[in-house]
């Protein structure tokens, strides 16, 4: 008969002993009351109705197990958070480096522009302001292209256009290209 009972999952692996203990408490309710009277209830731990002493000790084992793995779980959670924070810090550092590079590029461009604009001194500009465009155009054809562009930029717009139209077409195109690049700075790329 034990071979036939072993085929049912209910009777495998010590289940027979558990059923016997359960049956004992069901048929002898006085035994349960006597056992509960013998074992004082521990504070903070509720006594389950119909719970055997083994159940109470297994609850204690469960609580002890949970108590021991709490620290390990907390440490693992902190380790994961630390890894995530380190990744975020690396991302922030990379963005800061990109922004610093772009700032340096902009400052370099600004310095070149200021140098370019300083080439055209106010006194020289005043001289060309009082001159006629067709008279000074040959001089602009002969001077350095960056100086010519700087001077023409500082002149009034009407006079600048007259000088450019009186200049050699190739030289005027080069001057206009320099002036447009100085007037339209390259905007740094979006850091994101």
Best-predicted range by mean pLDDT among 48-52, 57-61, 79-83, 111-115? 79-83
Express as a percent the part of the chain with pLDDT over 90: 26
Does some domain include residue 82? yes
Residue 190 lies in a domain: no
Please indicate, yes or no, if residue 59 is contained in any of the structural domains.
Answer: yes
21 pLDDT band (50/70/90 cuts)?
very low
C-alpha 65/C-alpha 74 separation (Å) is 14
Q: Which of 111, 131, 153 is the last residue of a domain?
A: 111
What is the value of pTM for the model shown?
A: 0.38
User: Of 111, 140, 159, which residue is a domain's last?
Assistant: 111
Each residue's pLDDT tens digit, 80-92 = 999 999 999 999 9
| Residue 185: pLDDT band with limits 50, 70, 90 | low
Q: 129 and 176 share a domain?
A: yes
Supply the mean pLDDT for the chain: 74
**Are residues 141 and 179 both part of a single domain?**
yes
Evaluated on CA atoms 10, 13, 17, 22, the torsion sign reads negative
Domain annotation covers residue 137: yes
If asked whether residues 95 and 60 sit together in one domain, one would say yes
Would 57 be classed as within a structural domain? Answer: yes
Q: What is the mean pLDDT of residues 46-59?
A: 60
Q: What is the CATH number of the domain that holds 153?
A: 1.10.220.30
Q: How far apart, in whole angstroms, are the C-alpha atoms of residue 44 and residue 172?
A: 94
State which residues form the domain around 150. 120-183
Query: Which of 4-13, 17-26, 59-68, 119-128 ranks highest by mean pLDDT?
Result: 59-68
Quick one: pLDDT at residue 62? 82
One domain for residues 37 and 67: no
Same domain, 127 and 169: yes
pLDDT exceeds cutoff 60 at 57: yes
Residue 189 lies in a domain: no
pLDDT digits 0-9 by tens, 94-112: 999 999 999 999 999 988 8
Asked if residue 173 and residue 159 are part of one domain, the reply reads yes
Specify the range with the lowest mean pLDDT, choosing from 94-98, 103-107, 115-119, 181-185.
Answer: 181-185
- pLDDT band (50, 70, 90) for residue 42: low
Answer whether residue 90 is part of any domain. Answer: yes
Q: How many domains does the chain have?
A: 3
Q: Is the pLDDT of residue 16 over 50?
A: no
Task: Clarify whether residues 82 and 39 are in a common domain.
Answer: no
Looking at the structure, tell me whether residues 98 and 126 fall in a common domain: no
Q: Is residue 188 part of a domain?
A: no
pLDDT at 124: 79
């Amino acid at each position: 008969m034990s071979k036939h009972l072993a085929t049912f999952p209910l009777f495998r692996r010590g289940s027979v002993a558990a059923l016997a203990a359960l049956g004992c408490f069901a048929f002898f309710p006085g035994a349960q009351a006597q056992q509960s009277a013998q074992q004082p209830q521990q504070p903070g731990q509720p006594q389950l109705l119909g719970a055997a002493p083994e159940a109470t000790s297994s609850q204690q084992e469960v609580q002890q197990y949970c108590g021991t793995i709490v620290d390990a779980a907390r440490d693992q959670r902190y380790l994961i958070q630390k890894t995530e924070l380190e990744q975020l810090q690396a991302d922030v550092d990379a963005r800061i480096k990109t922004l610093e590079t772009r700032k340096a590029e902009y400052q370099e461009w600004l310095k070149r522009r200021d140098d370019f604009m300083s080439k055209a001194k106010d006194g020289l500009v005043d001289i060309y302001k009082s001159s006629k465009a067709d008279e000074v155009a040959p001089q602009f054809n002969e001077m350095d292209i960056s100086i010519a562009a700087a001077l023409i930029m500082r002149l009034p717009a009407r006079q600048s256009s007259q000088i450019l139209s009186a200049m050699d077409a190739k030289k005027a195109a080069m001057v206009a290209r320099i002036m447009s690049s100085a007037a339209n700075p390259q905007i740094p790329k979006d850091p994101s």
